[in-house]
Amino acid sequence: MSEPRKIGLLAGWGRYPVVIAEALQGQGYEVFCLGVKGHADPRLAAVCHDFDWVGLAKIGRAIRYFRRHGVKHVTMAGKIHKFLLFQPWIWFKHLPDWRAVRCFFPHFASMKKDRKDDTLLVAIVDEFARDQIAFAAATDFLPELLVKRGQLTRRAPSRAQAKDIEFGWIAAKEMGRLDIGQSVAVKGQATLAVEAIEGTDECIRRAGRLCAAGGFTVVKVAKPRQDMRFDVPTIGLGTLQTMVEAGAGCLAIEADRTIVIDQAEVARFADDHGLSIVAVADGVVSEAAIERAA
């Protein structure tokens, strides 16, 4: 009889880790999950073979957990609220273990390295690799979560929104290249808000406050050199709810490189609220789609 397939899951905030855990269990994996305290959904305990909590700065504990269970491959899913790293007395609150101190010393103490998302996440991946634990992309196990090119909603972007998508795509890709953020909000080919450490939802809310007339467009893309093991652009019902509350009218996402959680529900919600969602590969909406919207 063959040994059970084991996989580790490092779970952050949101529904995405639950979706991944359920999919992995359905594929016959034994899922050993560590939920990041203050982030992960407690429901993960019910859908994983084994579940435990881990502090934000307990890298050594996380490595020991996976080694103890014989896990050689781990995947990340869910957002980590990076703004927490800039709270007062952060390291006294989270008490990093020795592995975390060694991992993050060049970023937070000696300042020899920056604190960009990719820089910090690669540092964590490299620290796990010291113990022969490799990270895999969650979408390798559930590729259908990556949205295909085309229109997700009944409503297509208007000609003005298509122009804003093309304009916003260039800005968002540049922000991604600089590892600042993945989303921008645009109206009339003017940038209203750019995502940084606060995350997509706060970027959308800020755009709503600045554009009382509403009807603006949100563009969310992958980084030009996106590492699919982590920080893959993701949207779900929460994103759409924030857009409705802020007065946005259109969402453009990057085809084949954006995760859409509960896509049928997302499309249904968008249709019910008159939103347009389109997945594009190059920032250009087809003329046929624009004509259908006219």
Do the Cβ atoms of 147 and 256 come closer than 8 Å? yes
Same domain, yes or no, for 275 and 215?
yes
The string of pLDDT tens digits covering residues 240-280 is: 999 999 999 999 999 999 999 999 999 999 999 999 999 99
- Report the 10 Å Cβ neighbour count for 123: 17
Same domain, residue pair 85 and 111: yes
The CATH number that applies at residue 278 is 3.40.140.80
By the 8 A CB rule, do 18 and 44 touch?
yes
d(CA 124, CA 72): 15
CA–CA gap between residue 71 and residue 62 (Å, rounded): 11
Confidence of residue 94 (pLDDT cuts 50, 70, 90): confident
Percent of the chain with pLDDT over 90: 83
Q: Calculate mean pLDDT across residues 101-130.
A: 91
Query: Which pLDDT band, with edges at 50, 70 and 90, does 88 fall under?
Result: confident
255 and 169 in a single domain? The answer is yes
Q: Are 218 and 252 in contact (CB under 8 A)?
A: yes
Same domain, 150 and 265: yes
- Which of 107, 140, 173 corresponds to the end of one domain? 140
pTM: 0.90
Task: Summarize pLDDT for 52-68 with one digit per residue, the tens.
Answer: 999 988 999 999 999 99
Angle at 257 between CA 161 and CA 211, to 5 degrees: 30
Residue 169 shares a structural domain with residue 279: yes
- Tokens matching residue 149: 């090119």
Pair 139, 271: CB distance under 8 Å? no
pLDDT beyond 50 at 292:
yes
pLDDT value at 1 more than 60:
no
pLDDT of 76 > 60? The answer is yes
Q: Under DSSP, is residue 37 helix (H, G, I), strand (E, B) or coil?
A: coil
Which of 39-48, 115-124, 181-190 is the least confident region? Answer: 115-124
Q: Which amino acid is at 64?
A: R
**Where a domain ends, among 85, 120, 140?**
140
SS (H, E, C) 49-99: CEEEEECCCCHHHHHHHHHHCCCCEEEEECECCHHHHHCCCHHHHHCCCHH
What is the rounded distance in angstroms from the CA atom of residue 72 to the CA atom of residue 218? 39
* 210, pLDDT greater than 80: yes
- For residue range 186-196, list pLDDT tens digits in order: 999 999 999 99
28 and 82 share one domain? yes
Residue 120 has pLDDT above 80, yes or no: yes
* Number of compact structural domains in the chain: 2
Share of the chain above pLDDT 70, in %: 95
Residue 287 and residue 160 share a domain = yes
For residues 40 and 105, membership in a common domain is answered with yes
What CATH number corresponds to the domain at position 76?
A: 3.40.50.20
Domain that holds residue 53: 5-140
Q: Which residue, of 106, 140, 174, is where some domain finishes?
A: 140
On whether both 49 and 178 belong to a single domain, the answer is no
Q: Are residues 134 and 164 in the same domain?
A: no
Same domain, 118 and 255: no
What pLDDT was estimated at residue 293?
Answer: 60
Identify whether residues 277 and 160 lie together within a single domain: yes
- Tell me: pLDDT of 4 over 70: no
pLDDT at 3: 59
Kindly report the three-state secondary structure assignment for every residue of 108-157.
Answer: HCCCCCCCCHHHHHHHHHHHHHCCCCEEECHHHCCHHHECCCEECCCCCC
Chain Cα centroid distance, residue 11 = 12
| pLDDT value at residue 39 | 94
- How much is the mean pLDDT over the chain? 93
